[in-house]
Amino acid sequence: MLKLMKYELRKQAFSKLIIIIIAALGEAVFFSGLLLDKHDTMGLAIGLLTIFTMGAMFFIAFESIITYYNDLKQKQSYMLFLTPHTPYTIVGAKVLSSGIQIILSGLVFGLIFAVDGAALLAKYSSINEIKDFLHELLSVQFHIDVDGKLLVLAVLALLISWISTITLAYLSITLSTTFLANKRGKALISFIIFLILEYIFSKISDIVTSMPAIPQGPDFTIIISIVLYTVLTAITYLATAWMLDKKVSV
């Protein structure tokens, strides 16, 4: 599986290099504004980096989905599924490589914003006062104690939910190329199935997290969400590999 994962990572390496270069340029602009005490430059850099982070995370997930789609559509890539490797190994390598890319990207962007925030707090003491005020406001008015643990859990839940979305897309694409292969409008049907499954899962998540037996609180809610997203990822991975095993592998 490690060789397959390396193969998947190499296929998408160039786009990650571009993302790193753009993020580095954004950081250069931010720190130039910080050193020259230009608030507009710093604000612009942070704003653009925030937008770029969201766009980059979306692109990483989208690229993983498109790569999988092309592997099933293009003859040269399709041959990968006719190798001695089982579909469970091949799809597992794709899921793991996608997960690694998303988690590492999330960690890198998180580190970037942490460094930027620390630099701002070190230079401008007034920001520290604003931070303390917001922390107290959230604690008193909304009973939310924002600490490092909660932020880490929230980011982890977001990243795992993104991975589950990718595996759900894998499932929909596989469905359109296997059991729906001879159906008219199979792409549209699989996309509708994807949306329906996303909606159903979001409702299940809401029901589970609001059950009286479940401990209440932001941290418990996030932990339960992480577990649910992990289960969804496992189910969609197994279903995808099973369909490929039945319809594609030899």
pLDDT per position as a tens digit, 129-139: 555 645 554 45
Mean pLDDT of 79-106: 82
Q: Which of 100-114, 177-191, 232-246 has the lowest mean pLDDT?
A: 177-191
Mean pLDDT of 142-163: 76
Q: What is the pLDDT of residue 151?
A: 76
Q: Rounded to two decimals, what is the model's pTM? A: 0.80
Tell me how far apart the terminal alpha carbons of the chain are, to the nearest angstrom: 18
Alpha carbon 141 to chain centroid, angstroms = 31
Sequence-distant (6+) residues with CB within 8 A of 175 are 190, 193, 243
Q: What is the pLDDT of residue 180?
A: 72
92 or 77, which is more confident? 92
Mean pLDDT of 4-10: 82
Q: Which of 69-73, 113-117, 122-126 has the lowest mean pLDDT?
A: 122-126
- Provide the pLDDT confidence category of residue 124 given band limits of 50, 70 and 90: confident
Q: What is the pLDDT of residue 250?
A: 46
Q: What is the pLDDT of residue 6?
A: 83
Q: Which of 125-129, 134-138, 152-156, 161-165 has the lowest mean pLDDT?
A: 134-138
Average of per-residue pLDDT values in the chain: 82
Q: What is the pLDDT of residue 140?
A: 47
243 or 132, which is more confident? 243
168 or 72, which is more confident? 168
Q: How far is CA 142 from CA 134, 137, 153, 193, 207, in A?
A: 11, 8, 19, 37, 22
132 or 246, which is more confident? 246
Mean pLDDT of 103-113: 91
Q: What is the pLDDT of residue 137?
A: 46
Residue-level length of the chain: 250
- Provide the pLDDT confidence category of residue 78 given band limits of 50, 70 and 90: very low
Q: What is the pLDDT of residue 147?
A: 63
Specify whether the CB–CB gap between 64 and 101 falls below 8 A. Answer: yes
Give the separation between CA 67 and CA 8, rounded to whole angstroms: 9
Q: What is the pLDDT of residue 219?
A: 74
Q: How far is CA 123 from CA 115, 128, 189, in A?
A: 12, 10, 55
Q: What is the pLDDT of residue 230?
A: 93
Give the separation between CA 235 and CA 84, rounded to whole angstroms: 24
